């Protein structure tokens, strides 16, 4: 090749959240928002909601700018860009959120290699859409995949998508530079570590190699980086039966406390980093490393958030240590509030530990969020009721609720398939076409919808994460977590009024109450530069 190879990198967030359908038919549904604003709310739109900022009124809902790559500085993109930059490889980044709405790529330069991260892809149809878009824009460039989804479905993808040249399994730090050299004619594809590719009539499977995380330089890009995504481990020490993460990255490795502290200090000193988002499967293990971090992180100069397990939070002292180390939020996989279901999952945690962690975090003033699941194989509607009741009556804070998904054939739950009566009813849609002895996917979806609806109107303290990812957060930058939680709750209730009261005349008292509650936290309706108290009768 006479010129330097140019790489097209596609990486970023997935197309949607499974629970986003709970906002269908509301002001947060782009397909009907304009009509509802005109016919139901008599001109009131969510864009009219404003709070008083330092420079004057600002919209409460500020959409993320999908055209700005910086808006999607998450772990996968950060790591891949760092590898390409460190090896002086010319590349163009296309954040995946720019592709999902239209199914086409924006105009990009001619390229010699396409790298597609599948970390945030979870089904065949999404992958097919991306591959079609790539081929339309770059018909001749070889396409190489990497990331969780492609690592789990290597043979299926390479047999079902002939346009895919190869897949990088596991660590890409060594594979990507060698792959670019091979494309440039400076190396052989058979010498690229971790690569499985089409080597004639059969697939060539190259040597598998792991990166020493403690010795390898951590990702970095030039310039100011106020928020940095971070990875302190790969693999996972646990074996939850709904998770294929250990299969995709079998060897559990982690950075030392000294390495983590050193990285964070460099980010703060040289790149102006003020906050770290740790995306490890669980940052708070092993316990010894966490104890060392409690001593090292207070002087790092950054705040941080991470994933944890509920049984790590055993006493108020732990919460105090987290706060002293400048932790601002922990995320947990509670999954269920039924001990029987947690046992089926091999979660190695109890519902009591979940409840205790939430209570200690709330009492200590440390923000947290938890993820829950409905429909795990073997779970009955009666067992799920424990999770439902907890979310509606006891839980405080943000949470995720998802229907169980059969993401791939490597999930350990398949070992229990016969005992649990687990089967696939829809071969074309295995992710959401299942039945087991406890319920089927249609029942699970109904239970999720019912829980989200009850939480919306019956709980002032619990807030599902379904639509917020499209907007800048916090909604009220000057306010604390509790007030922002309340702001999100009021916005969702306002948006969902047509679901509660299809007749706008019945909605008037509730609408007026919601607008008064918004005014109580400094949010007003501004129409054409003036404040207006809107009702269903108009202003």
The stretch 100-114 carries a mean pLDDT of 93
The stretch 411-428 carries a mean pLDDT of 88
- Predicted pLDDT at 433: 85
Higher local confidence (pLDDT), 124 or 7: 7
Same domain, 160 and 80: yes
* Alpha-helix residue ranges (DSSP H) falling in 184-276: 245-248, 257-271
- Predicted pLDDT at 506: 96
Tens-digit pLDDT profile for residues 175-209? 999 999 999 999 999 999 999 999 878 899 999 88
Domain membership flag for residue 467 = no
Percentage with pLDDT > 90 across the chain: 78
* Alpha-helix residue ranges (DSSP H) falling in 40-184: 75-86, 124-137, 148-152, 154-160, 175-183
Tens-digit pLDDT profile for residues 291-343? 999 999 998 999 999 999 999 999 999 999 999 999 999 999 999 999 999 99
CB 112 within 8 A of CB 7: yes
Domain membership flag for residue 377 = yes
Same domain, 200 and 260: no
Residue 365 has pLDDT above 70, yes or no: yes
Query: What's the half-sphere exposure (Cβ side, CA atoms, 13 Å) at 16?
Result: 11
CB 123 within 8 A of CB 18: no
Domain membership flag for residue 328 = yes
Spatial distance between the Cα atoms of 472 and 160, rounded to a whole number of angstroms:
38
Same domain, 275 and 419: yes
- Predicted pLDDT at 362: 96
Same domain, 296 and 443: yes
Same domain, 109 and 246: no
Same domain, 419 and 326: yes
Residues comprising the chain, all counted: 539
CB 368 within 8 A of CB 329: yes
Element (H, E) at 455: helix 441-458
Q: How many domains does the chain have?
A: 2
- Predicted pLDDT at 539: 35
Q: Which of 8-12, 19-23, 271-275, 362-366 has the lowest mean pLDDT?
A: 19-23
Domain membership flag for residue 497 = no
Same domain, 153 and 283: no
The stretch 489-498 carries a mean pLDDT of 98
**End of a domain among 410, 434, 453?**
453
Confidence of residue 533 (pLDDT cuts 50, 70, 90): very low
**End of a domain among 453, 476, 496?**
453
Spatial distance between the Cα atoms of 537 and 539, rounded to a whole number of angstroms:
7
Same domain, 295 and 349: yes
The stretch 512-534 carries a mean pLDDT of 82
Same domain, 411 and 279: yes
Same domain, 101 and 240: no
Percentage with pLDDT > 70 across the chain: 92
Spatial distance between the Cα atoms of 52 and 388, rounded to a whole number of angstroms:
37
Same domain, 113 and 237: no
Q: Which of 66-75, 323-332, 355-364, 504-513 has the lowest mean pLDDT?
A: 66-75
Confidence of residue 244 (pLDDT cuts 50, 70, 90): confident
Pairing of strands 56-59, 49-53: antiparallel
Domain membership flag for residue 335 = yes
Tens-digit pLDDT profile for residues 77-95? 999 999 999 999 999 999 9
Confidence of residue 272 (pLDDT cuts 50, 70, 90): very high
Return mean pLDDT, the chain.
Answer: 91
- Predicted pLDDT at 124: 84
Pairing of strands 397-403, 49-53: unpaired
- Predicted pLDDT at 16: 62
Residue 117 has pLDDT above 70, yes or no: yes
Domain membership flag for residue 28 = no
Same domain, 10 and 103: yes
- Show the beta-strand stretches assigned E in 238-352: 253-254, 275-278, 303-308, 327-335
Domain membership flag for residue 473 = no
- Predicted pLDDT at 181: 96
Domain membership flag for residue 169 = yes
- Predicted pLDDT at 399: 97
- Predicted pLDDT at 532: 54
Higher local confidence (pLDDT), 438 or 431: 438
Residue 537 has pLDDT above 50, yes or no: no
Spatial distance between the Cα atoms of 382 and 503, rounded to a whole number of angstroms:
34
**End of a domain among 394, 419, 453?**
453
- Predicted pLDDT at 17: 52
CATH number at residue 305: 3.20.20.70
The stretch 260-281 carries a mean pLDDT of 95
Expressed as residue numbers, the domain containing 199 is 6-15+70-205
CATH number at residue 113: 3.40.50.2300
């Amino acid at each position: 090749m006479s010129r330097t190879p140019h790489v097209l990198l596609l990486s970023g967030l997935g197309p949607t959240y499974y629970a986003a359908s709970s906002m269908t038919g509301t002001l947060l549904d782009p397909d009907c928002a304009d009509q509802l604003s005109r016919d139901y709310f008599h001109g009131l739109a969510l864009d009219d909601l404003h709070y008083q900022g330092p420079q004057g009124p600002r919209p409460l809902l500020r959409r993320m700018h999908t055209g700005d790559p910086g808006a999607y500085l998450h772990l996968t993109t950060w790591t891949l860009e760092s590898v390409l930059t460190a090896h002086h490889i010319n590349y163009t980044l296309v954040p995946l959120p720019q592709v999902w709405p239209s199914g086409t790529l924006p105009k990009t330069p001619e390229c010699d290699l396409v790298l597609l991260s599948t970390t945030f892809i979870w089904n065949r149809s999404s992958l097919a859409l991306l591959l079609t878009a790539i081929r339309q824009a770059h018909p001749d460039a070889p396409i190489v995949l990497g990331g969780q989804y492609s690592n789990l479905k290597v043979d299926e993808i390479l047999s079902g998508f002939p346009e895919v040249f190869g897949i990088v399994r596991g660590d890409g730090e060594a594979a990507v530079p060698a792959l670019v050299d091979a494309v440039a004619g400076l190396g052989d594809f058979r010498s690229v570590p971790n690569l499985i590719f089409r080597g004639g009539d059969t697939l060539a499977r190259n040597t598998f190699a792991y990166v020493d995380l403690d010795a390898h330089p951590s990702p970095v890009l030039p310039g100011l980086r106020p928020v940095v995504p971070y990875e302190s481990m790969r693999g996972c020490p646990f074996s939850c039966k709904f998770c294929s993460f250990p299969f995709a990255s079998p060897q559990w490795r982690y950075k030392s406390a000294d390495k983590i502290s050193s990285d964070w200090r460099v980010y703060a000193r040289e790149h102006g980093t003020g906050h770290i988002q740790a995306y490890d499967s669980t940052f708070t293990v092993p316990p010894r490393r966490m104890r060392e971090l409690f001593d090292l992180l207070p002087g790092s100069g950054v705040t941080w958030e991470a994933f944890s397990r509920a049984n790590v939070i055993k006493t108020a002292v732990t919460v105090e240590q987290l706060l002293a180390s400048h932790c601002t939020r922990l995320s947990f996989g509670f999954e269920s509030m039924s001990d029987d279901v947690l046992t089926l999952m091999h979660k190695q945690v109890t519902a009591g530990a979940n409840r205790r962690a939430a209570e200690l975090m709330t009492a200590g003033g440390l923000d947290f969020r938890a993820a829950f699941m409905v429909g795990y194989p073997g779970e009955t509607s009666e067992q799920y009721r424990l999770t439902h009741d907890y979310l509606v009556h006891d839980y405080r804070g943000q949470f995720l609720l998802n229907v169980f998904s059969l993401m791939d054939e490597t999930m350990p739950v398949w070992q229990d398939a016969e005992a649990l009566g687990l089967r696939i009813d829809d071969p074309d849609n295995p992710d959401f076409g299942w039945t087991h002895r406890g319920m089927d996917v249609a029942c699970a979806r109904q239970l999720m919808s019912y829980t989200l609806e009850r939480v919306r109107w019956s709980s002032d303290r619990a807030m599902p994460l379904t639509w917020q990812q499209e907007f800048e957060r916090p909604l009220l930058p000057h306010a604390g977590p509790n007030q922002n939680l309340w702001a999100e709750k009021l916005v969702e209730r306002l948006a969902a009024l047509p679901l509660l009261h299809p007749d706008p005349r019945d909605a008037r008292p509730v609408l007026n109450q919601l607008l008064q509650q918004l005014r109580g936290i400094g949010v007003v309706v501004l129409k054409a530069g003036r404040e207006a108290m809107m009702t269903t009768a108009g202003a």
